[in-house]
């Protein structure tokens, strides 16, 4: 609000105040209805959430269709309901072996960490209540590089990530396995500002709070079937469009409204769900019969823009080293690397290899030491990790040992 300071006009405050979030405004925003006509490529709208049947869409895949899908997905997260579901993202008919091997790897990691770690914290649950794998991305690669390579070769993952973040994103992941009786979370917003205390969050300018949501994509892949009774994530559609929501989500009236109005959809093994980090959401309670021991298991994907800081540090060198021969074999089969995700110009194998490289190596070359790594003669920046890996799988680098050198020498 404009005012006076020593007799001179002042500009409006750059900050939100604790009184900024107005509950009536919030209620009006989240009372909107998702129209099917806005998202014609969706197979249906359920509880305001667009659902896309990827098995059907793959039958007519083209550059035009991919671009239209990305436009719809971006609009959903930006101005629409804030969340969408991708049925058959990891279709069991194609990825059954991958999902099974990945779950085996996750279980092995969980068992190892139970035996070796005395204490393990969680974001929104008491430590030890559920099974949580921090940085499941790196641990999966080290535990079982074969299933890791298959899992992160999924071209749909790259298509989704680029639709919100553009190129050069960074993939991180965490596994959450919720046991029967596991309690529901309180509604919240996510990383970055969702992990700040209210006092700290209020110090960030309003514009920065609005910009934060564009730096991260939240998602999850269902590693078990998730009936509603098992507690799949609860959402409040359109709540990400409430500007001061990072200061609002802890307030009792907002949390109570969420509790009375959230929606949750059942998921099947291999389905994906993606949402704006500013969307009010919360994991549900696993109310399945304790006697059957059913765990709700999801690989939580947090994908970060090249222009933001990811939650976890990923050392690309050992991950690339572990999957190096799998990437080289994929290159031998594909014949070359797809430089863009163009289904008309490139084969499925080429797009899978590109998706894998995008997941395991940094696409953004900064920060770096410009004395040691000056910009390329034809550009403003040195090679990124992805550039080096793409060059390497084509013959520019040799075996696993040579591959490891890109961390110390080439990069």
Q: pLDDT tens, 49-104?
A: 999 999 999 999 999 999 999 999 999 999 999 999 999 999 999 999 999 999 99
* Short-list 240, 254, 127, 131, CA closest to 187: 254
C-alpha pair distances (Å), 166 with each of 45, 170, 306, 310, 357: 26, 11, 8, 15, 15
Cβ–Cβ under 8 Å, residues 225 and 269: yes
Cα separation, 391 vs 394, in Å, equals: 5
Question: Minimum mean pLDDT among 37-41, 142-146, 276-280, 327-331: which range?
Answer: 327-331
At 401 the pLDDT is 42
Answer whether residue 112 shows pLDDT above 90: yes
pLDDT at 402 over 60: no
Whole-structure pTM over 0.75, yes or no? Answer: yes
Res 342 pLDDT > 90 = no
Q: Supply the pLDDT for residue 124.
A: 45
Mean pLDDT of 114-142: 77
CA angle, residues 207, 213, 216, in degrees to nearest 5: 140
Asked whether the beta carbons of 358 and 155 are under 8 A apart, the reply is no
What mean pLDDT comes out for the span 205-210?
96
pLDDT, residue 120, reads: 53
What pLDDT, on the 0 to 100 scale, is given for residue 409?
A: 40
Mean pLDDT across the stretch 98-122?
88
pLDDT at 153 exceeding the cut of 90: yes
Q: Give me the pLDDT at residue 398, please.
A: 53
Residue 345: pLDDT over 80: no
Which residues of the chain form CATH 2.60.120.620? 32-304
In this predicted structure, the answer to whether residue 10 has a pLDDT above a threshold of 50 is yes
Q: What average pLDDT does the structure give for the chain?
A: 90
Higher-scoring residue by pLDDT: 87, 130 = 87
- Min mean pLDDT across 274-278, 356-360, 383-387 is at 383-387
pLDDT the model gives residue 273: 98
Highest-scoring range by mean pLDDT, 4-13, 150-159, 342-351? 150-159
pLDDT of residue 376: 72
60: number of CA atoms within 13 Å, CB side?
9
**Backbone φ, ψ for residue 156 (5° rounding):** -65, -35
- Least confident range from 95-104, 110-119, 172-181: namely 110-119
H helix or E strand, kind and range, residue 116: helix 92-116
pLDDT > 60? residue 341:
no
Q: Looking at residue 292, what is its pLDDT?
A: 74
**Considering only the top CATH level, what class is 32-304?**
mainly beta
Residue 396 pLDDT > 70, yes or no? no
pLDDT at 299 > cutoff 50: yes
- Confidence check: pLDDT of 340 > 70: no
DSSP 8-state secondary structure symbol assigned to residue 8: E
Percentage of the chain exceeding pLDDT 70: 89
Q: What radius of gyration, in Å, describes the C-alpha atoms of the chain? A: 22
pLDDT of residue 407: 46
């Amino acid at each position: 609000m404009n005012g006076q300071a020593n007799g001179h006009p002042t500009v409006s405050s750059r900050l939100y105040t604790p009184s900024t979030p107005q509950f009536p405004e919030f209620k009006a925003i989240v009372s909107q209805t998702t129209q099917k006509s806005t998202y014609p490529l969706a197979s249906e709208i359920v509880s305001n959430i667009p659902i896309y049947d990827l098995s059907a869409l793959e039958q007519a895949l083209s550059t035009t269709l991919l671009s239209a899908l990305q436009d719809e997905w971006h609009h959903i997260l930006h101005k629409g309901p804030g969340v969408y579901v991708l049925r058959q993202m990891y279709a069991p008919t194609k990825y059954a072996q991958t999902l099974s091997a990945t779950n085996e790897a996750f279980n092995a990691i969980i068992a190892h960490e139970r035996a070796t770690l005395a204490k393990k914290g969680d974001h929104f649950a008491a430590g030890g209540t559920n099974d949580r794998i921090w940085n499941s991305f790196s641990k999966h690669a080290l535990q079982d590089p074969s299933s890791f390579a298959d899992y992160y070769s999924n071209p749909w993952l790259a298509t989704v990530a680029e639709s919100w973040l553009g190129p050069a994103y960074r993939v991180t992941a965490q596994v959450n396995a919720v046991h029967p009786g596991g309690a529901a979370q309180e509604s919240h917003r996510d990383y970055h500002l969702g992990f700040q205390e209210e006092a700290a969050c209020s110090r960030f300018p309003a514009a920065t709070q609005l910009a934060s949501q564009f730096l991260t994509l939240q998602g999850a892949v269902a590693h078990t079937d998730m009936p509603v009774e098992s507690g799949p994530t609860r959402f409040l559609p359109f709540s990400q469009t409430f500007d001061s929501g990072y200061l609002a989500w802890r307030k009792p009236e907002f949390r109570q409204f969420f509790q009375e109005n959230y929606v949750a959809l059942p998921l099947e093994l291999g389905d994906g769900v993606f949402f704006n980090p500013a969307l009010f959401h919360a994991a549900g309670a696993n109310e399945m019969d304790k006697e059957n021991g059913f765990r709700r298991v999801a690989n939580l994907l947090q994908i970060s823009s090249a222009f933001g800081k990811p939650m976890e540090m990923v050392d690309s060198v050992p991950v690339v080293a572990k999957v190096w021969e799998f990437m080289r074999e994929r290159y031998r089969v594909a014949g070359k690397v797809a430089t863009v995700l163009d289904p008309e110009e490139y084969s499925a194998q080429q797009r899978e290899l590109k998706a894998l490289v995008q997941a395991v190596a940094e696409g953004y070359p900064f920060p770096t030491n410009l004395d040691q790594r000056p910009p390329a003669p034809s550009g403003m920046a040195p090679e990124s990790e992805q550039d080096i890996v793409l060059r390497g799988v084509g013959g520019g680098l040799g075996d696993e040992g040579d591959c490891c050198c890109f961390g110390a020498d080439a990069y």
